[in-house]
Amino acid sequence: MVMDKKSSLTMEISSDEGYAEVAVLRVCGALDFSGITMLSNVFEKLFGEARPYVIVDMAGIESICSAALGEFMGYRKRFVEQGGNLVFAGLAGNVRSKLTLLGANKIFSFYQDVRGAVNAYRWDYKKHSKSVSIAFPSFLQFVPPVRQFASRLAKQNGYSAKDAFRIETIVDEVCNNAVEHGEAGKGSEVEIKVSINKEKIALSVSNKSDPDKVAVLKELVKPAMPVSHVGDDDKRGRGLALIKMLSNELDVEITERGTSVHVTKLREE
């Protein structure tokens, strides 16, 4: 920890477990002009240690001057050039208001706390995936909330409305097929696992097979008819054709015991 005895400003560097390149800089006190040299020394130290992703924990900052903000901006640029970033976490109301007034929110990412900033690092830089698993009774009426959940999940994680709509459609079609062609009745379930990261969303949908429908299902997943040839009398295959056109990878495994469908959709916009 370094300390400015005149102003009682302190700065302490710590690490995030598991990510050596991430530095958490905890700043406490009033960050005014006299603290800039201390700030600069700390950042130069981080450059020397090749730790280009810096989370500045501002929870203990009482005030900040515009010159200090300028220092942050200059170093942020250098960290970004090194493939990292400089972000703010834990901003108190008055400090946050001042930084927003100065337009800093257009340059820096603000996070609620250090954990949020680390999660953003994992998401942006480590392609960390978030996963959700859902099991629902094998009835059609349970599919709409599941597809709408997948759409919201995509939107909440920065996917565009168009991508979210396509994901909603894929989930809908895969789950409808699982209900229609899988084992029906009391106790039968469809399981869906959704894994999402910054670049893609992966879906795995599985259900028990209905022995009487396995042959029909295997026929359906043979190389599909060209979608342009789908006529108004064709009752089957549209859903699968849609999934194929909207996704980047599709893999279907059908056995007498169960069916698993794996779909990957890359983020497009």
Partner 1 sequence: METQIQLTCEEISGKSDARIVRFVGDLDATNVDLITEQIFNYFSDGLVKIVADFKQLRYVNSTGLGVLLHFNKTAREKGGCFKIVNLNEDVYEIIEIIGAASLLDIYDEMEDAVAALS
Where do contacts with partner 1 occur on this chain (CB under 8 A)?
140-141, 143-144, 162, 165, 168-169, 172-173, 176, 226-233, 235, 238-239, 241-242, 245-246
Q: In terms of CB distance, is 27 or 143 closer to partner 1?
A: 143
**Shortest Cβ distance from residue 161 to partner 1 (Å)?**
8
**Distances 61 to 8, 53, 95, 105, 241 between C-alpha atoms, Å:** 11, 20, 8, 17, 56
> Taking the complex as a whole, how short is the minimal distance between the CB of residue 215 and partner 1, in angstroms?
22
Our CB check for partner 1 shows the closer of 46 and 170 to be 170
CB-nearer residue toward partner 1: 187 or 231: 231
Q: How far is the CB of 166 from partner 1 (least distance, A)?
A: 8
Q: What is the DSSP string of 64-82?
A: E-HHHHHHHHHHHHHHHHT
Q: How far is the CB of 79 from partner 1 (least distance, A)?
A: 39
Tell me whether strands 110-111 and 189-196 are parallel, antiparallel or unpaired. Answer: unpaired
Residue 106 or 229 having the CB closest to partner 1:
229
Cβ-based nearer residue to partner 1, 141 or 255: 141
**Which stretches of the chain are DSSP H helices?**
36-48, 66-81, 93-101, 114-125, 143-156, 161-181, 214-220, 238-246
CB of 239 to partner 1, least distance (A): 4
Q: CB nearer to partner 1: give 62 or 219.
A: 219
Report CA torsion sign: 95, 98, 99, 100: positive
Nearest approach in angstroms of CB 156 to partner 1 is 18
Match 């670049």 to its residue by tokens: 199
Q: Tell me, what DSSP letter sits at residue 126?
A: S
Q: What is the largest CA-CA distance in the chain?
A: 84
